[in-house]
Amino acid sequence: MDFRLDDGWQIRPLRGNTGTAYMGIREQERLFIKRNTSPFLAALSLEEITPRLVWTKHISTGDTLTAQEWLNGRCLSKEEMGQESVAKLLARIHDSKILRKMLRQVGGRYIFPEELLSNYFRGLSLELRTHPLLKKVANQLRMHQPKLDHRKFKVSHGDLNHKNWLLSDSGKLYLVDWESARLADNALDISMLMCQYVPRKDWNQWLTKKYDIAVTDSLKRRICWYYMVNLLLSVKENHQRGHFFEMNQDILQVADFFNNQEFV
């Protein structure tokens, strides 16, 4: 794509992206350039959650380009995701009134538990709809949906995969790729991270010592509820894609969690 940037810039697509991310190169300068990213990026940059925003440009195609400083570094490994630095950064995001205000101003949407459950049932195949275990779990989730005040919702990243955590060579940790940002119960993000990367026996310690929150019965129930609904959504997605091995692995996780009666 011809971005018509200043003379001397070369634009190279980055592998592993969906055709929206590029490296900008001019002599010794490097920039991370992305097309049509969220306007929320400016607030994230000011709060040093993401690398520094250098400029924003509107181009003739109608697209908007953003350029951020290029940082040498690496993504976190799965084993590093349980570290205190990860929990502290996530807690800072959730506690930030500035980020919440800015996301609301740029049209950030609220996501409620009932919407997640509705997403599971929408277009669900007959095979999964009648699966005895999945049917039983879905019914339990419907009966025990968290009742929440949306005014207490936090900024939620929505995709806390370890590949979205960038550790710069200088030791600064960033959370990138905010295309799924929304306003939600902070237990939604917490459940995504803990259930993927923190052994269940360490959940209490991670919450109290690293994320620094009081572990109440309500919080436990909400974390488990979001964990289960996200597992069901993963089962559905893998079934639709024909990834049956991954689907069966998810179903085994559903069975393990449900049979231990750790949610309800």
Whole-angstrom Cα distance, residue 86 to residue 81?
6
Catalytic residue among 2, 63, 159, 185: 159
The sheet that has 10-13: what strands, in order across it? 10-13, 21-26, 29-35, 64-69, 53-58
DSSP string of the chain, one letter each residue: -----STT-EEEEPTTSSS-EEEEEETTEEEEEEES--TTHHHHHHTTSSSPEEEEEE-TTS-EEEEEE---EEEPPGGGGGSHHHHHHHHHHHH-HHHHHHHHHTTPPB--HHHHHHHHHTT--HHHHT-HHHHHHHHHHHHT-----GGG-EEE-S---GGGEEEETTS-EEE---TT-EEE-HHHHHHHHHHHHS-GGGHHHIIIIII-----HHHHHHHHHHHHHHHHHHHHHHHHHT-HHHHHHHHHHHHHHHHTT---
| Cα gap 169→72, rounded to integer Å | 6
Has 250 been annotated as catalytic?
no
- For the annotated catalytic residues, the residue numbers are 159
